Amino acid sequence: AVAPVPFATDEFLNKIEDRIVKPTVNGLKKDNLPYVGFIFIGLIKVGDDPKVIEYNVRMGDPETEVVFPRLKNDLVEILQAMANGTLDKINIEIDARAATTIMLVSGGYPEAYEKGKEIMGIKNIKDSIPFHAGAQIQDGKIVTSGGRVMAITSYGDSYQEAIKKSYQSIEKLYFDKMNYRKDIGFDL
């Protein structure tokens, strides 16, 4: 399997499980909170320790677009098993390749931004999955309709290869005032 990121050593992942994941689940049980669903834990590495930035009880952007493509199982089957309390009966399979996602946003986002900008080049994307977010069809054209316009997800045998593919795909796209982070993955 591909390591998520270089600093995610077995020791670091064990710290996450022992200090954050298990106490969170045990706290739900202790408080008799019968939670069924996602718990997305946003983390940051401080020194050699994981720290919680946020808890989300849903999958959002851009985590959905990078996590779900690696899922080999039928998502509906997993959701039904969650609802029925039989998730432990499913063998969840994850694609071993790395995946990366880079979000394209409208200029000015998250503040004021213009809508209705035509998105061009989507048909040129071959090595990535373009997930439409703030986009819609208008007069037969795909145009921006929100701040977070599109997530570009790519697979690779390493996260570096996947990031490279995402950036190469982004170079094939254009809309007026298109913006995205150009440092994703380079801090690792």
Q: What pLDDT does 47 receive?
A: 93
User: What's the pTM?
Assistant: 0.86
pLDDT by residue (tens digit) across 10-43?
999 999 999 999 999 999 999 999 888 889 999 9
Q: What pLDDT does 184 receive?
A: 84
Residues 6+ apart with CB under 8 A from 146: 106, 115, 133, 134, 135
Q: What pLDDT does 3 receive?
A: 52
Mapped onto helix, strand or coil, the DSSP state of residue 89 is: helix
Q: What pLDDT does 185 receive?
A: 77
Q: What pLDDT does 99 receive?
A: 94
Q: What pLDDT does 60 receive?
A: 85
Q: What pLDDT does 188 receive?
A: 54
| DSSP alpha helix (H) spans, the chain | 10-16, 22-30, 63-67, 75-84, 159-170
Low-confidence ranges of the chain (pLDDT < 50): none
How far apart CA 100 and CA 185 sit, in angstroms, is: 9
